[in-house]
Amino acid sequence: MDKKFSHLSAKGDPSMVDVGAKSETARVAIARAVVQLDDAIIDALLDDEIQTKKGPVFQTAILAGIMGAKKTSDLIPLCHPLGLDKCCVEIEVNEQKEVVIDCMAKISGKTGVEMEALTGATVAALTIYDMCKGFSHNIIIKDVRLMKKTGGKRDFDRNEET
């Protein structure tokens, strides 16, 4: 096996990856989280939004997801602090009545934005959980995963996997 963990020094200690010699490239990552809600919560959907005493659930989750993506390096110890060029969160309810959250992060830089996209999708999902737990604790956050990334050494697209 010639692959190695990028965040370990030669001695095996945690180490931030040195990106100093890398060229800046356009980098984009899209991550997804799926939230399974109780029927009582889904029944509260009105015009693709859930209104609670805390406010509109999906609109609040979108803001929280963007804020989470921007704070990724504060949460994940070896992530580089990045000034994102763009971040957006989209939320929709699919045919299975699951909430699908997609977070896209974009930068022109020396390192990728996969962790920012994953953090944004996860924080949005946690916000939905927090705002809806008064209805029911029967909420499942599942399938948090990278869907696509471009820029850097290897592009990745989950839809093109074999």
User: In this predicted model, what pLDDT tens digit does every residue of 74-123 receive, in sequence order?
Assistant: 999 989 999 999 999 999 999 998 999 999 999 998 888 999 999 999 99
User: Model confidence over 28-55: pLDDT tens digits?
Assistant: 999 999 999 988 888 887 777 888 888 8
Does residue 143 sit in helix, strand or coil? Answer: strand
Cβ contacts of residue 4 below 8 Å, gap of 6+? none
Q: Quick one: pLDDT band at residue 153, thresholds 50, 70, 90? A: confident
Cβ contacts of residue 40 below 8 Å, gap of 6+? 135, 136
Please provide the CATH number assigned to the domain covering 25-151.
3.30.70.640
As a whole-number percent, the residues of the chain with pLDDT over 70 amount to 90
Query: Given 38, 85, 130, 143, which residue is catalytic?
Result: 130
How high is the pLDDT of residue 161?
64
* Helices and strands, counts by H and E, the chain: 4, 7
Q: Which of 5-9, 64-68, 149-153 has the highest mean pLDDT?
A: 64-68
Please say whether the beta carbons of 116 and 105 come within 8 A: yes
Rounded-to-10 torsion of CA 43, 88, 146, 136: -20
How high is the pLDDT of residue 28?
97
Active site residue 130: yes
